[in-house]
Structure 1
């Protein structure tokens, strides 16, 4: 897995704990309203609400550990969250000043200041990542029968406890260095004042294209570099009393977003609507109106931003520059307001009574000015450079879009609209055989695929996607708006009903479950082979049509052969890259060095065993040699608990090749016996 892909996972997991902030914002916002409106100096209800909100903010480091461990776990199980919390407790208690004093045999007053700040979101993130990695690797380990109670998920907290002792020992020596570096970075940014806030805002928007803005936000919004802007602002009076909140300063990394999100982007939406072709304005207007209202009311801007991010990148750069200018102006003028979710009307109202909100109402005239600026700049740029923003397509392109939308409205019988739409999204990303993992954040489908080249970007946009981002050969993001999670859930649901074929660029987007037409397997061929697969497991050959699973026997997943295993070792049939190992370790996808895409699926319905009986020997992204062990099976256990151990070995892109030639006899040996030859 690439570093970018891994950071994507971390960024996505960060949204789990960050999603608790709206609760804190609402509780404390209402509490401040009641406190300011009440004639009684110590209103009990106000105190109740603000204290409840502070309970969330005060424990954000622990929430980071819990949320990231859960969010990065392979099966989103509660045991992963518990593991993160246990790891956080072990580290923070071992690195507490009193413990450091005892372990390092130094006076308490000589313990570095860094250990007083050990309960830090940075530590929470570190612990969460470590806990998730341990969970993903050991949550399905089977111990000997005498210790079987501690097998699987029960084993993980034990392992994490010991691991965190090692982590804590290392932190005792390197945490002061890391902490001091982070503080220096924070001080450097803070010394830049309003300019630093503007620079941060510019990169906040630029990085949204690859979803890494969450990592940047953690530095400025939470106590990673000593800034802690959001919690300090929401803390209000308590932050002021503790000296962590400074009137006119705290909130400057948030305030300037309000004029952009509430006013600037709606101005851009108006320009895009007016620049659309006359015959397309009604359609584009409804889309822009909905996106502009979402930006104004809730501060959710991705649907609007992605409508022009890829079709007109120059507009997105202009948008990032204007955002930086807006944040710089608000910080310079000390027009301060903050948010717990995003810079929309709801958060502005909730924060207006916060003691740290200063001249917040001036953000409204600033916003009106930015509405005009965005409108003028966007309109001029679109017309001057003839940018293909929504609605500026040709009549033929719009007619094709209308045909697609009409096909979406005709839902599959017995399915909801989301399920019907999900079926089409699966089709445009290359079908079931190309889709290996489905996930979502607030506005994006985050999909892992065998090959992003098979994703049909144009048809995805015709389905309503604002943008399609290819991160690497196995990762793609589709921006669908706030319904992303619902569509992702629907995609998972329809995937269980049966395989869905890919849609070609010339087809309309209304695929049914179909059999993929694959080349016939023959026993011989005069043509030279592109590549020859070896048997991934020892056993007896079974024709694919005899596999007791319709998805494989119909060759909808791809053409190939099956093996009824007698051995317990599963190896790579070709040299290449392991692009996917399923969370339950029962199957893996391999892309060979020749471009052959292979799925090895051990047994039928073995996913229901939740990984029991399987042990992975390599990780996703590993480069493997032909014959290298990939999985280890407990064949006795699997034969007893699985409906069938007949194991399909299919070439998922078999339609790309002229012929598959069966090279095996009745019995095969893992890593030695030739199995299939691929004829180009």
Structure 2
């Protein structure tokens, strides 16, 4: 994994522990005397902030492990206790704060990924497998404690000095943080920067003697000086970006405003209420980078002004209206937090005016103003299990297929992918599926911005790949669908197409003449094409009746509703395998739909035992029709890619 990929994945891992902060803030706030006056609720929320480092250890370990394992989470907690207790024994002044949790979480997750399946001798077998992970993590953290016990004090002093410098820089330091924070959004590295500012910089000791680090911790612990890294975000997220959304809506041609209006309204409301701005930012980040630079500058200015005015405000999740209302009367909130609303009104006007002017002057291609004719591909309802699986499979194909994928991760709004070759990622295909942008950070690291369903799609992608390979999207099909350069053919020209056969299996297209079998290569069996499979599921290429399934399950014959007789023969001389490697999913005489699974293959076994797995798909009664035309690209996806057209 390269350095950039590491920090992207770290940013994603930090999101799980950060996600617990809103509920902690709610309990802490509602338990205060001016609201419910229930100290036990306030203490319950405070307990989260008091043990934040431990929560980070558990959360990072879980999300860093290859399957979000509970054993890794336990190992993270074990490692944290060992590291912290051993370090302060060497030097009582050491306080790594949340960084101790992050370090032990990374160690635990990496240990799980390496040794979760370890086999030990019989007399030690009880301690093998996942039970070995907490043991090994504890050992590694003990070594780290010995190192950090002597190495960390200078680092701690440097962090303290750096934090003091930033804080002493006052408004300028806050402004620089806000500017850099937004610039890092496209890479996902802002989470790392935020963790340092919100959970590490600055110290506050409460009346009980407890020490709190970082802007968020100090704010909710009652430190009236906290908030310089948070206050200025409220005007931008609640008002500025919605103003930008309105500018983009008004800049779109009137005919296209209904098309983009609903989308812009939804992301603007999300930004205002919750402070989650990425869905809105990604709408113009890549279409109009100049606007995003302006946005980053304005964010820095907002943090500068808020700090210069002595405004102290905070949030538990993000700078939206919900957090603003909850923190308004907290002890650490300054009496002038109302000024943020005035700044917000000004920010709304500034964003609207600047964005409107720049969009028109530079003719920027913001939503509704694009030249391309690309339209999102109609997809199944991704709120259903079937629809989500279909969408996820399409994304795998669009990023180059399962063979191109190394690591699948996600954050709130984007897929974070490590690939073998970013050049194989089809941006147009991703956008057809609804992605608002594709970020290629380097040759192995990409991000696909797809909105709030990103994590669900990522998890489903992992499950799909675990079942078998998925072929990349056919380039010729994408090109024809996404960027047509010629007018569509007249309706009369399509009248000759009687039926279109879909690919029965995912894989690489091979000319029938190249099949290593004389009967198929000479077209004595019939006209068609062949596929070298990369997928393990064989589906029906059209709707019809299964006339025959061979006893060895390696081939079947389908009669379509239009009368075509199609033979799908998986591999060459696979009849000699006597059915091994094939599982029948339907019986002879079954009525099937196009894309319905017919056979399941153990492709790895078949590739090593069959003469060849090149699989012919032929129409045996082609003489009853006018002809056959190949329409597939270099690769096809089972049940989705058109394979050939039959003219009648």
Counterpart in 1 of 2:366?
389
Instruction: Please list the CA deviations of residues 431-466 of structure 1 after superposition, one character each: whole Å capped at 9, or x if unmatched.
Output: 344334432211111223332212221232233222
Instruction: Please list the CA deviations of residues 531-563 of structure 1 after superposition, one character each: whole Å capped at 9, or x if unmatched.
Output: xxxxxxxxxxxxx98999547999x9x99999x
Decide whether aligned partners of structure 1 residues 375 and 144 sit closer, same or farther in structure 2, where only a CA change above 3 A counts. same
Counterpart in 2 of 1:165?
142
Instruction: Please list the CA deviations of residues 216-263 of structure 1 after superposition, one character each: whole Å capped at 9, or x if unmatched.
Output: 011110025655100111223xxxxxxxx1x2x311210110000000
State the alpha-carbon separation in 2 of the partners of residues 262 and 142 from structure 1.
54
Structure 2 residue 43 is matched with structure 1 residue 70 = no
Counterpart in 1 of 2:6?
6
Shift of 1:195: 1.1
Is the 1:561–1:648 contact (alpha carbons within 8 Å) kept by the matching residues of 2? no
Counterpart in 1 of 2:548?
none
Shift of 1:145: 1.6
State the alpha-carbon separation in 2 of the partners of residues 644 and 434 from structure 1.
18
Is the 1:112–1:176 contact (alpha carbons within 8 Å) kept by the matching residues of 2? no
Decide whether aligned partners of structure 1 residues 559 and 20 sit closer, same or farther in structure 2, where only a CA change above 3 A counts. farther
Is the 1:560–1:648 contact (alpha carbons within 8 Å) kept by the matching residues of 2? no
Counterpart in 2 of 1:201?
178
Moved more, 86-95 or 123-132: 123-132
Q: 1:36 aligns with which of 26, 34, 52?
A: 34
Q: 1:229 aligns with which of 208, 215, 225?
A: 215
Shift of 1:172: 1.4
RMSD (Å) for aligned C-alpha atoms: 3.6
Counterpart in 1 of 2:292?
316
Decide whether aligned partners of structure 1 residues 352 and 514 sit closer, same or farther in structure 2, where only a CA change above 3 A counts. same
TM-score (norm 2): 0.73
Counterpart in 1 of 2:605?
646
Counterpart in 2 of 1:363?
340
Counterpart in 2 of 1:479?
449
Shift of 1:495: 4.8
Counterpart in 2 of 1:502?
473
Q: 1:515 aligns with which of 497, 501, 506?
A: 506
Instruction: Please list the CA deviations of residues 405-434 of structure 1 after superposition, one character each: whole Å capped at 9, or x if unmatched.
Output: 4x325x69x964433333332332223443
Counterpart in 2 of 1:20?
20
Structure 2 residue 79 is matched with structure 1 residue 87 = yes
Counterpart in 1 of 2:197?
220
Structure 2 residue 428 is matched with structure 1 residue 458 = yes
Counterpart in 1 of 2:354?
377
State the alpha-carbon separation in 2 of the partners of residues 418 and 432 from structure 1.
17
Instruction: Please list the CA deviations of residues 275-333 of structure 1 after superposition, one character each: whole Å capped at 9, or x if unmatched.
Output: 11222111111110001000001111000000111111111111011001001111111
1:258-337, aligned counterparts within 5 Å? 258-337=234-313
Instruction: Please list the CA deviations of residues 551-605 of structure 1 after superposition, one character each: whole Å capped at 9, or x if unmatched.
Output: 7999x9x99999xxxxxxxxxxxxxxxxxxxxxxxxxxxxxxxxxxxxxxxx999
Counterpart in 2 of 1:535?
none
Is the 1:288–1:304 contact (alpha carbons within 8 Å) kept by the matching residues of 2? yes
Decide whether aligned partners of structure 1 residues 311 and 429 sit closer, same or farther in structure 2, where only a CA change above 3 A counts. same
State which structure, 1 or 2, has the greater radius of gyration over its C-alpha atoms.
2
Helix, strand or coil: the match of 2:227?
coil
Shift of 1:20: 1.1
Q: 2:320 aligns with which of 336, 340, 344?
A: 344
Counterpart in 2 of 1:107?
none
Shift of 1:473: 2.4
State the alpha-carbon separation in 2 of the partners of residues 551 and 348 from structure 1.
55
State the alpha-carbon separation in 2 of the partners of residues 262 and 302 from structure 1.
13
Shift of 1:207: 0.5
Q: 1:424 aligns with which of 389, 394, 416?
A: 394
Is the 1:67–1:128 contact (alpha carbons within 8 Å) kept by the matching residues of 2? yes
Counterpart in 1 of 2:410?
440
Aligned residue pairs: how many?
518
Helix, strand or coil: the match of 2:234?
helix
Counterpart in 2 of 1:130?
107
Q: 2:164 aligns with which of 166, 187, 194?
A: 187
State the alpha-carbon separation in 1 of the partners of residues 503 and 174 from structure 2.
51
1:497-646, aligned counterparts within 5 Å? 499=470, 501-504=472-475, 505-508=478-481, 514-519=505-510, 549-550=536-537, 646=605
Counterpart in 2 of 1:144?
121
Is the 2:268–2:280 contact (alpha carbons within 8 Å) kept by the matching residues of 1? yes
TM-score (norm 1): 0.70
Helix, strand or coil: the match of 1:360?
coil
Counterpart in 2 of 1:639?
none
Decide whether aligned partners of structure 1 residues 205 and 548 sit closer, same or farther in structure 2, where only a CA change above 3 A counts. closer
Point out where structure 1 has 5 or more consecutive residues left out of the alignment.
101-110, 237-244, 524-543, 563-602, 606-642, 659-680
State the alpha-carbon separation in 2 of the partners of residues 493 and 74 from structure 1.
13
State the alpha-carbon separation in 2 of the partners of residues 435 and 70 from structure 1.
21
1:53-64, aligned counterparts within 5 Å? 53-64=45-56
Shift of 1:214: 0.7
Counterpart in 1 of 2:497?
none
Is the 2:509–2:532 contact (alpha carbons within 8 Å) kept by the matching residues of 1? no
State the alpha-carbon separation in 1 of the partners of residues 31 and 413 from structure 2.
30
Is the 2:57–2:105 contact (alpha carbons within 8 Å) kept by the matching residues of 1? yes
Is the 1:548–1:604 contact (alpha carbons within 8 Å) kept by the matching residues of 2? no
Decide whether aligned partners of structure 1 residues 350 and 656 sit closer, same or farther in structure 2, where only a CA change above 3 A counts. same
Instruction: Please list the CA deviations of residues 115-138 of structure 1 after superposition, one character each: whole Å capped at 9, or x if unmatched.
Output: 2x24x1112112211222222111
Decide whether aligned partners of structure 1 residues 61 and 470 sit closer, same or farther in structure 2, where only a CA change above 3 A counts. same
Shift of 1:63: 1.2
Decide whether aligned partners of structure 1 residues 548 and 10 sit closer, same or farther in structure 2, where only a CA change above 3 A counts. closer
Decide whether aligned partners of structure 1 residues 179 and 380 sit closer, same or farther in structure 2, where only a CA change above 3 A counts. same
Instruction: Please list the CA deviations of residues 627-669 of structure 1 after superposition, one character each: whole Å capped at 9, or x if unmatched.
Output: xxxxxxxxxxxxxxxx9983747999xx9999xxxxxxxxxxx
State the alpha-carbon separation in 2 of the partners of residues 253 and 560 from structure 1.
66
Structure 2 residue 178 is matched with structure 1 residue 178 = no
